[in-house]
C-alpha cells in the first residue's frame, strides 16, 4: 500500500470547490480521504467531499476531488490517498 498527501487546499465558509490530479496509473485502486487541518474543531463535520474520475488515456486516470465546507468559517484540508495495489 502507498499512502500520501496529494495536496492541501482551503475552502471559504459555505463554499464548494473542485481540484483535480492527473496521470494516475489506471491499474491502481485508489481511495481518497479529505481531512480538515484548520481550524481544529472537536464537533460536527467541517467538510464533505465527492470523488469523480475520468479516463484521460488508455492507461491513465484523472481524479476530481470536490470539497464542500459545511461550516461558517474558512477550512484548510489535506487531500490524502491510499493506493491499495501497486
Residues 74-85 have pLDDT tens digits of 999 999 999 999
Q: How many CB atoms lie within 10 A of CB 46?
A: 23
Q: Under a CB-based contact definition with an 8 Å cutoff, are residues 60 and 23 in contact?
A: yes
- The answer to whether 69 and 47 have CB atoms below 8 angstroms apart is yes
Task: DSSP letter for 42, please.
Answer: S
Q: What is the pTM of this model?
A: 0.93
Q: Would you tell me how many other CB atoms lie within 10 Å of the CB of residue 82?
A: 13
Cα(52)–Cα(66) distance, rounded to whole angstroms? 8
pLDDT in tens, 47-74: 999 999 999 999 999 999 999 999 999 9
Taking the domains of the chain in order of start, what are their residue ranges? 2-83
Amino acid at each position: 500500500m502507498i499512502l500520501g498527501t496529494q495536496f492541501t487546499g482551503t475552502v471559504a465558509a459555505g463554499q464548494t470547490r473542485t481540484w483535480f490530479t492527473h496521470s494516475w496509473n489506471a491499474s491502481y485502486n485508489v481511495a481518497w480521504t479529505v481531512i480538515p487541518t484548520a481550524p481544529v474543531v472537536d464537533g460536527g463535520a467541517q467538510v464533505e467531499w465527492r470523488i469523480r474520475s475520468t479516463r484521460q488515456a488508455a492507461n491513465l486516470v484523472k481524479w476530481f476531488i470536490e470539497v464542500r465546507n459545511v461550516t461558517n468559517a474558512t477550512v484548510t484540508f489535506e487531500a490524502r490517498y491510499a493506493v491499495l495495489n501497486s
